[in-house]
Structure 1
């Protein structure tokens, strides 16, 4: 039995778990702020909707951290030695699920849009992901309403199946997104060694960013099933929102590194492949000049076209050709 259901029991698996979750969540929040600063200083040419998405996730992270800090302070400081207060759910512990659910929904919708573009507008696959995202959001909203009405942790046990459903749906959406992106990237036919390297980086990065959120959601789900009368799951659930925002920011900030140009401020990478013996790789780079090098306020645009032709023996002879008309971007470039 937990301390919230039986006065006098140790607080290790209840308030102790919540405290550990707050500490880890605060560390991840600091990393989110650092990544947010890096994003807005390096990728100022991104479209408005991406900047708004980043701003919303950081705002929701701030709101969530405020709620969980208030929760721990309420139980461990304000009501210290008051065992009766441990039975009552403070308002902040119920509302903290709202910003977490909104953050997860926004980030998963962003990845669903990426799947939509890379799958050449696959309605069934993208629709399945969106259905899981919407179902998770609906269940999360219902949980917040029911938790506010419950009032005590003992009554909260009555909606444990809904809590388990939320974690299961969220885990399913994360796993489906990660597997889908990796599968589509794996089936991409690289046009050159440079393109193949970028594909491998994308696959590895997709696994890493999706794995953390999936593992955290699964750990929260397992904790709920194994120990439903404790708050061990809270130590994982408090960190899910931070992991979603960090995964989003990491995917946006790592675009230059994935493309192999770490020092780029912003870039558009276009790849076009041909099935004939002639391979043409077009690269378009738009970068801001350094203040020390250029005194004007204008911008520098550089375009390099490189063609590789194969002779009869199969050896490539590389040469540079004059600039041609811009190439259309492919889903692979969008994934970066």
Structure 2
């Protein structure tokens, strides 16, 4: 048994280390179930649109999320089942743990890029300075992601993770900063897109609430990981929190895509009720033809002059087929970004 293993065994507490990772995997599995529900809901509500960019993005995020879950489950299975009671194996970092860091970075970076693309779409017709700035910030974070992956792959034992705490702080701090930038940018663009109509402004307000809530959720998770890493560097609680981070980012983006569908039934109900009301308000000339003739006879008695076009007009009115005239009003529903 190596000296590093002997140094680790007296300090090893399975509850705060691999027990925390096990709990993190359980919660991550629950979040993956929520991802499946949101992805299924998106495909059901957009099944008639064909293959679009958003459809491919949802499919790609789901595949990465499933792969990330597989890797963290393999990691826990390797330590708690395959190497059960093998204390020396608990000190080494398995390959699936390192690979899940790469998938984690790809998910977070991909979601940030998709958010930047949404900002570009929302800013259509406005100044492009804000979306370009957000895009540049997102691209620059790729350097932080690469440095984090490189630092993790240099570690061979869990005790080496304490030496690269700087990479954890840098990566999570950058992620939180980008979350704030993206959420504030989207809220600003949506706020400036208000139309003055109460129904449309209400939907915009709800979308802003969705963006703020999901942005705060991912930022809080990142800050909890930073705090636990600083307060308990020898425990794996911060690693279990990082297991949840990728799941939260996928769910936050899917929630933004599904938000218009969540809000659509309310607007559709109003439009449908208005259309039904208009369909019931049918004008029937045969019910009013007698009143029109009475008004015409009274007007002829009071008039001093009689125009020749009046007779033709009365004949034309009497020749109108006695059928209802149905007026249908169609309104286009608001579709948000």
Given the two structures, how large is their TM-score scaled by the length of structure 2?
Answer: 0.73
Report whether the alignment pairs 1:27 with 2:33.
no
Report whether the alignment pairs 1:147 with 2:149.
no
| SS at 2:13 equivalent | coil
What are the ranges of 5 or more consecutive residues in structure 2 without an aligned counterpart? 273-277, 279-326
| SS at 1:51 equivalent | helix
Larger Rg: 2
**CA shift in 2, pair 1:51/1:242, >3 Å:** same
Deviation at 1:262, TM superposition (A): 7.5
- Counterparts of 1:1-336 in structure 2, within 5 Å, are 6-8=8-10, 9-44=12-47, 45=49, 48-120=52-124, 122-261=127-266, 333-335=335-337
What are the ranges of 5 or more consecutive residues in structure 1 without an aligned counterpart? 265-282, 286-303, 305-319
**CA shift in 2, pair 1:135/1:220, >3 Å:** farther
Distance in 2, matches of 1:168 and 1:86, equals 29
What are the Cα deviations for residues 5-62 of structure 1, in whole angstroms up to 9, with x where unaligned?
7213212221122111101100000111121112112212165211110011000011
The 8 Å contact of residues 4 and 153 in structure 1, kept in 2 or not, is answered as no
RMSD over aligned CA atoms reads: 2.9
Given the two structures, how large is their TM-score scaled by the length of structure 1?
Answer: 0.73
What are the Cα deviations for residues 244-285 of structure 1, in whole angstroms up to 9, with x where unaligned?
111122222221232454779xxxxxxxxxxxxxxxxxx9x9
Per the alignment, residue 317 of structure 1 pairs with none
Greater shift in the superposed pair: 46-55 or 24-33? 46-55
Deviation at 1:196, TM superposition (A): 1.9
What are the Cα deviations for residues 97-141 of structure 1, in whole angstroms up to 9, with x where unaligned?
111111112221121122223334644433443344334433333
Between structures 1 and 2, the one with greater strand share: 1
Q: Kindly tell me the number of residue pairs found equivalent between the two proteins.
A: 276
The 8 Å contact of residues 132 and 169 in structure 1, kept in 2 or not, is answered as no
Between structures 1 and 2, the one with greater helix share: 2
The 8 Å contact of residues 132 and 172 in structure 1, kept in 2 or not, is answered as no
